[in-house]
């Protein structure tokens, strides 16, 4: 691949993912870090990308208001179904529990129900969930910071992953972009890395997802079904996915 073609593909890759570390670019394109730095320096001059701690990030052309509208619209899709899923998921949380609540439009809806319990500690990298949990004096909140990802309103990067290494959770409530026959996936590379890490630090892992996630493709796989204990959803799964989950002893709950 000639350099100009590689740089064009690199720009597409960064814009698609929002943020990419230099190490990830080096692995993705099979070139040295020194070459990556030279390519990135050239890309920065076009005004579409910016250098951030640990890598390079795409500059969104839309206004802050339009970005907020996009996030808000995503939360409103299938709201009734998501409310049912979130309410039922909260019944699995016992008093005095420490839980990790992943970023997601369904997981965020759990917070008012969790606030009714006693001595619940919520750990999260989601700014949305931090803001919701901060409304309730009854909840203990631990927020993990890093590089802010606008599209998911959450913090990503190695600082988030490093912070989780010494943590353990009674339950993880996880969201996903995609549920495919081969497993779970998201479109943001560093979100995938975070999800991989939270799954291994929990006694129980709950996946919360409505039917819109069925067989939807996403770029980065983060979890096979043997890492999931429960799926709480609103409709019966396609048979091929349901069989895969049952083979891995995932308990499927339709609410």
Domain ranges across the chain = 3-58, 77-254
pLDDT digits (tens, 9 = 90+) for 141-193: 999 999 898 888 899 988 899 999 989 999 999 999 899 988 999 988 888 99
At residue 16, the pLDDT reads 80
At residue 64, the pLDDT reads 42
Give the pair of three-digit tokens for residue 98: 């420490």
pTM (whole model) above 0.85: no
3-58 is classed in which CATH architecture? Answer: Orthogonal Bundle (1.10)
**pLDDT over 90, % of the chain:** 50
Residues with Cβ within 8 Å of residue 41, at least 6 apart in sequence: none
Which pLDDT band holds residue 11 (cuts at 50, 70, 90)? confident
CA distance 64 to 244: 41
pLDDT digits (tens, 9 = 90+) for 86-132: 999 999 999 999 999 999 889 999 999 999 999 999 999 999 999 99
Which pLDDT band holds residue 217 (cuts at 50, 70, 90)? confident
Which range among 13-22, 73-82, 103-112 shows the weakest confidence by mean pLDDT?
73-82
CA distance 114 to 193: 26
The β-bridge partners of 148 are: 155
Which range among 56-70, 85-99, 203-217 shows the weakest confidence by mean pLDDT?
56-70
CA atoms within 13 A on the CB side of 245: 23
Mean of pLDDT values over 44-63: 70
CA distance 2 to 14: 18
Q: How far is CA 40 from CA 1, 156, 179, in A?
A: 17, 20, 33
The answer to whether residue 66 scores a pLDDT higher than 60 is no
Fold topology of 77-254: Rossmann fold (3.40.50)
Whether 3-58 shares its CATH topology with 77-254 is answered: no
Which DSSP letter does residue 145 get? -
Average pLDDT, the chain: 87
At residue 75, the pLDDT reads 61
At residue 150, the pLDDT reads 83
At residue 46, the pLDDT reads 65
């Amino acid at each position: 691949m000639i350099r100009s073609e590689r740089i064009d593909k690199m720009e597409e890759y960064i814009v698609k993912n929002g943020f990419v570390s230099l190490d990830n670019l080096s692995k993705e394109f099979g070139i040295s870090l020194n070459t990556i730095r030279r390519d990135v320096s050239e890309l920065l001059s076009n005004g579409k990308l910016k250098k951030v701690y640990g890598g390079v990030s795409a500059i969104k052309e839309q206004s802050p208001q339009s970005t907020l509208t996009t996030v808000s619209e995503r939360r409103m899709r299938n709201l009734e179904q998501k409310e049912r899923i979130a309410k039922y998921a909260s019944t699995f949380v016992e008093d005095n529990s420490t839980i990790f609540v992943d970023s997601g439009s369904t997981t965020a809806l759990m917070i008012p129900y969790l606030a009714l319990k006693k001595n619940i500690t919520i750990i999260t990298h989601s700014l949305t969930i931090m803001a919701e949990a901060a409304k309730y004096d009854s909840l203990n909140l631990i927020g993990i910071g890093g590089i802010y990802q606008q599209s998911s309103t959450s913090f990503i990067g190695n600082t988030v992953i490093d912070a989780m290494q010494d943590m353990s959770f009674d339950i993880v409530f996880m969201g996903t972009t995609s549920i495919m026959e081969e497993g779970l996936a998201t479109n943001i590379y560093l979100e995938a890395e975070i999800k991989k890490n939270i799954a291994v630090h929990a006694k129980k892992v709950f996946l919360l997802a409505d039917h819109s996630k069925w067989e939807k493709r996403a770029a980065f796989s983060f979890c096979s079904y043997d890492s999931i204990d429960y799926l709480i959803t609103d409709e019966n799964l396609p048979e091929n996915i349901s069989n895969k989950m049952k083979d891995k002893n995932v308990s499927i709950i339709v609410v």
